[in-house]
C-alpha cells in the first residue's frame, strides 16, 4: 500500500470522525480532546507498519534523539516484564511521552499520525486519560462507572467505541494488503516500528519474509508485547518470540 493510499484512508477516517463528533455534540455531549492535552501520548501506541514508513523517512534531528532515548528506556525494562498489563502500566508511568510529542504538548506528526491515535476520542476530561484505576478508591471507581454512557464508549474505557471500531477495521485492511502484496505483515508498538524502519529500512526488503523476520528477532525488540509479525499462510499475527 502506497503513502497516497494510506493518506486517502486517513482522510476517510478523519471525515468519519468529524461527522460522528458533530452528531455527538448536537446531542449535547462533549469530546474533551484538545491541543496540548497529551495524556494519551503516554500510552503504548499500537499501529501498523505501513503507517510508519513515511514518518521514519522524514525524522527531524530532535525526533531521532527522542526516539533513540525512548528505545533505550524501553529495552531497559523489557527483561523485567512478565505480563502485558505490567508492560502497559510501566510504559505509562516510566517511559515518558511519545517521542513525537512537542515541547508544548502538540503532536509533531499530527497530519501523519496513525489510525490508533486518530481513533482515541475521550468522553471524559483530560485528567481521566492518565488515571491509574488500580489506585482509585472504590467510591471513585463507582462514580466513574455510573457516569459512563455504555452505548458510546468502548467499555470499560471512556474512549469512543465507534471510532476505535472503524480504526481497527482499517488497520486490518492495511495488514491484509501487506500480506497480499509482500507475504508478510507487521504491527505493534508505533515508536518501535518507526525506529526499526529508520535503522533497518525493513520496507526495502519487500518480499524477503525470512530476512525481515531475522532482522526483527536480532534487533532486540522482537518482544511479544511489542511486535506482531505474520506471514503467509498464517491467518493471524504471531509474536516474534515466546
Write the pLDDT tens digit of every residue in 218-228: 999 999 999 99
DSSP per residue over 34-80, as a string? -TT--GGGGS--EEEGGGGHHHHTT--HHHHHHHHHHHHHHHHHGGG
Task: Give start and end residues of each alpha helix (H) in 57-189.
Answer: 61-77, 84-94, 115-119, 138-146, 161-182
CA distance 23 to 89: 34
pLDDT at residue 233 in the model: 52
CA distance 97 to 116: 16
**Which of the listed ranges 100-104, 124-128, 160-164 does the model predict with the highest average pLDDT?**
160-164
pLDDT at residue 237 in the model: 44
pLDDT at residue 25 in the model: 95
CA distance 123 to 144: 12
User: Structural domain boundaries of the chain?
Assistant: 3-239
Write the pLDDT tens digit of every residue in 150-179: 999 999 899 999 999 999 999 999 999 999
Q: Which helix (H) or strand (E) holds 184?
A: strand 184-189
Give the angle subtended at the CA of 211 by the CAs of 182 and 191, to the nearest 5°.
75
pLDDT at residue 232 in the model: 67
Q: Which residues contact 205 (CB under 8 A, 6 or more apart)?
A: 211, 212, 215
Q: Give the full edge-to-edge strand order of the sheet including 46-48.
A: 46-48, 184-189, 227-231, 238-239
Describe the chain by its helix, strand, coil percentages, rounded to 5: 55, 10, 35
Write the pLDDT tens digit of every residue in 192-227: 999 999 999 999 987 789 999 999 999 999 999 999
Amino acid at each position: 500500500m502506497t503513502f497516497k493510499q494510506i493518506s486517502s484512508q486517513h482522510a476517510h477516517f478523519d471525515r468519519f470522525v468529524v461527522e460522528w463528533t458533530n452528531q455527538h455534540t448536537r446531542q449535547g455531549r462533549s469530546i474533551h480532546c484538545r491541543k496540548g492535552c497529551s495524556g494519551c501520548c503516554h500510552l503504548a501506541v499500537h499501529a501498523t507498519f505501513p503507517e510508519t514508513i513515511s514518518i521514519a523517512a522524514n525524522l527531524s534531528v530532535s525526533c531521532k534523539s527522542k526516539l533513540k532515548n525512548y528505545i533505550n528506556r524501553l529495552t531497559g525494562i523489557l527483561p523485567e516484564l512478565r505480563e502485558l498489563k505490567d508492560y502497559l502500566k510501566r510504559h505509562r508511568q516510566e517511559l515518558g511521552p511519545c517521542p513525537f510529542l512537542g515541547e508544548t504538548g502538540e503532536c509533531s506528526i499530527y497530519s501523519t499520525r496513525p489510525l490508533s491515535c486518530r481513533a482515541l476520542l475521550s468522553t471524559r476530561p483530560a485528567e481521566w486519560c492518565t488515571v491509574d484505576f488500580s489506585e482509585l478508591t472504590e467510591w471513585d471507581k463507582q462514580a466513574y462507572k455510573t457516569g459512563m454512557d455504555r452505548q458510546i464508549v468502548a467499555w470499560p474505557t471512556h474512549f469512543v467505541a465507534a471510532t476505535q471500531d472503524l480504526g481497527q477495521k482499517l488497520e486490518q485492511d492495511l495488514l491484509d494488503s501487506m500480506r497480499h502484496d509482500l507475504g508478510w505483515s507487521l504491527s505493534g508498538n508505533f515508536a518501535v516500528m518507526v525506529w526499526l524502519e529508520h535503522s533497518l529500512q525493513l520496507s526495502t526488503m519487500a518480499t524477503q519474509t525470512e530476512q525481515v523476520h531475522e532482522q526483527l528477532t536480532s534487533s532486540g525488540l522482537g518482544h511479544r508485547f511489542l511486535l506482531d509479525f505474520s506471514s503467509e499462510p498464517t491467518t493471524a499475527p504471531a509474536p516474534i518470540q515466546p
